[in-house]
Amino acid sequence: MVLGSNPSGPTNLTCPSGIVGDTDKDDWGLAVILSSTSLTDGVLTLRPLARDDRDVMYAAVMESIDEVSRWLPWCHAGYSIAETEGFIESCITAWAQQAHFPLAIFDASSGQYLGGTGVNHIDRQNRQGSIGYWVRTSATRRGIAPRAVRIVARFAFETLQLSRLEIFARLENTPSRRVAEKAGAKFEVIARNRVVQHGHAYDAALYSLIPSDLATPPGTGAA
C-alpha cells in the first residue's frame, strides 16, 4: 500500500534543469539525458526502470497484491512476469518520447526495490502534471511514499519546469490521502467520478502541490 511519513529535504538531481517544454522538437540526445536521470536525498534513490529490474519489480508486486489491487487495477491476482516486462518497455518508451516520467524507488543504501512513482498526465501548455505512487507491502510505514513524492515533485518543478502537480485518490483510500497530506500537498476538492477503476467511476479527493509547498517542512508521524 502507499503508506509513509517523514519526507525528505533537498534533493540532488543528476540531470540538467529546464529541459522539457518544446514538444515539437524530436531530440534523441535529450531523451537519452532524461532517461539517465537519477534523483536521491541520501535515503531513497529514484530512477527510470531498466530491463534488469524485471525480477525485483515482479517480486515486489507479487507480495503486494492483496493490499494494492483494490486501488491499482494493474496489480491483480494472476499478475505475470510478462506484464512486468511490458510495463518496463512502456516506461522506457515514455522517457524516450518525454510523454511521462515513471520512476522506480530504491533504498539508497541497500539498493532494494521499494515501489514506484512518477509524473504523468502532463499538460505542458499549462505546466501541470500528476504524481502517482505505490510502495511494496514489506516496506510500508517507513515514510517512503511521502519522501518519494517530495523528491519527484522537486524534479517536476526544477527539471520539467511544471508549476502545479495533482494527486488524486479515491475517498476511502485513506493511506494514499495521508501520503499526499504528509508530503505537503493541499486538499482542494472532492472531484466527482474522477477515477475509473475495475470498470466503475469513483469520486476522488484532489490534492495539489506547487513549488512553494516544498519550502514548508513535511508532515511527520506514521502513515
Q: Helix 144-158 to helix 174-182 angle, to the nearest 10 degrees?
A: 50
Gap between the Cα atoms of 98 and 92, Å rounded: 10
Give the residue among 18, 207, 21, 25 at the shortest CA–CA distance from 125: 21
pLDDT, tens digit (0-9, with 9 covering 90-100), for 74-103: 999 999 999 999 999 999 999 999 999 999
* Position 190 pLDDT exceeds 60: yes
At 138, the pLDDT band (50, 70, 90 cuts) reads very high
Q: Which residue has the higher pLDDT, 111 or 2?
A: 111
**Between residues 21 and 42, the one the model is more confident about:** 42
Q: Which CATH number is correct for 26-163, 3.40.640.10, 3.40.630.30, 3.40.50.720, 3.40.50.970?
A: 3.40.630.30
* Pick from 94-98, 130-134, 177-181, 191-195: least confident: 94-98
Residue 38: how many CB atoms within 10 A of its CB? 14
- Residue 24: the pLDDT is 41
pLDDT at 220: 52
**Which comes out higher in pLDDT, residue 220 or 49?**
49
What ranges do the domains of the chain cover?
A: 26-163
H/E run at residue 138: none
| % of the chain exceeding 70 in pLDDT | 82
The region, left, alpha or beta by phi > 0 then psi within -120 to 50, assigned to residue 42 is left
Average pLDDT of the residues of the chain: 86
The pLDDT of 64-77, averaged and rounded, is 92
Using the predicted structure, report yes or no on whether residue 10 has a pLDDT greater than 80.
Answer: no
Stretch among 116-120, 162-166, 199-203, 213-217 having the lowest mean pLDDT: 213-217
Which comes out higher in pLDDT, residue 13 or 62?
62
Contact 133, 2 (CB under 8 A): yes
Rounded average pLDDT over 21-31: 44
- The pLDDT confidence band at residue 198, using thresholds 50, 70 and 90, is confident
